[in-house]
Amino acid sequence: MRKTIIAGNWKMNHLGADAKETIQGLVAKVPQDVKPEVIIAPVFPYLSMAVEMTKGTPIHVAAQNMHWEEKGAFTGEVSPAMLVDIGVTHVILGHSERRTYFNETDETVNKKTKAALAHNLTPIVCCGETLEQREQGIMQSWIEGQIEKALEGLKAEDVKKVVIAYEPIWAIGTGKTASAAQAEEVCAIIRKKLAALYDAATAEDVSILYGGSVKGGNVAELTGSADIDGGLVGGASLKADDFLAIINNAVVK
């Protein structure tokens, strides 16, 4: 059965004191029996601190990126084994900002997804279209292509361990939010593509998140949709109270 997941992507925000304050606020108020799976993704320098502070709590820690190789001459990169070594459990892969600014491709996302799974990290694989692609009527083929390439070579039992995040690029950090109907339409397309690539049972087991200006006020409508299983939250995850409102208002199926 797929999980309802609320994941906070902090992006390049929060110095140590700010990160500590946010984590303390979450640890104090997220109950042990919280219904959605809760994930935070601080920047690399504070991952160890986040892992230590969340020990014994239901809060998981994710990295925002990683390399696919185990080790080597890759200056500035971090390997999956290094993330596992400090207690990280999830990793965000293929975020549109990584694709736009740092030359991430469907092929590198595929390599990273395979490496994450090989190290028992849960990959949160991102996909999404620009406003131009949506207006050109190629949204569906674009999204399906991203999914097919990201999962190329994976077996059904592997895909069931993957989380997919749909993030319309035109709604990230813009204050614009896809309507619940728009988000559901694309998440349903993703699930149908998974069924076509694998089978219906596998598709039903994969959690699909929506990312794009998710807030406490719209998360219930979004997660109440048939194929939206949570949120990949940006700015609203930086303050504990804002993130808690999203966690508390999410609809758990």
Tens place of pLDDT for every residue, the chain, 253 residues?
Answer: 899 999 999 999 999 999 999 999 999 999 999 999 999 999 999 999 999 999 999 999 999 999 999 999 999 999 999 999 999 999 999 999 999 999 999 999 999 999 999 999 999 999 999 988 988 999 999 999 999 999 999 999 999 999 999 999 887 777 777 899 999 999 999 999 999 999 999 999 999 999 988 999 999 999 999 999 999 999 999 999 999 999 999 999 8
Active site residue ranges = 95, 167
Q: What is the DSSP string of 49-115?
A: HHHHHHTTSSEEEEES---SSSSSS-TT---HHHHHHTT--EEEES-HHHHHHS---HHHHHHHHHH
* pTM greater than 0.75: yes
Residue numbers belonging to the annotated binding site for substrate: 9-11, 173, 213, 234-235
Determine the Cα–Cα distance for residues 143 and 89; give it in Å rounded to an integer.
26
Residue numbers belonging to the annotated binding site: 9-11, 173, 213, 234-235
Is 181 within 8 Å of 211 (Cβ atoms)? no
Q: Considering all CA atoms of the chain, what is the largest pairwise distance in Å, rounded to the nearest integer? A: 48
Is 61 within 8 Å of 47 (Cβ atoms)? yes
Domains annotated on the chain, with CATH? 5-249 (3.20.20.70)
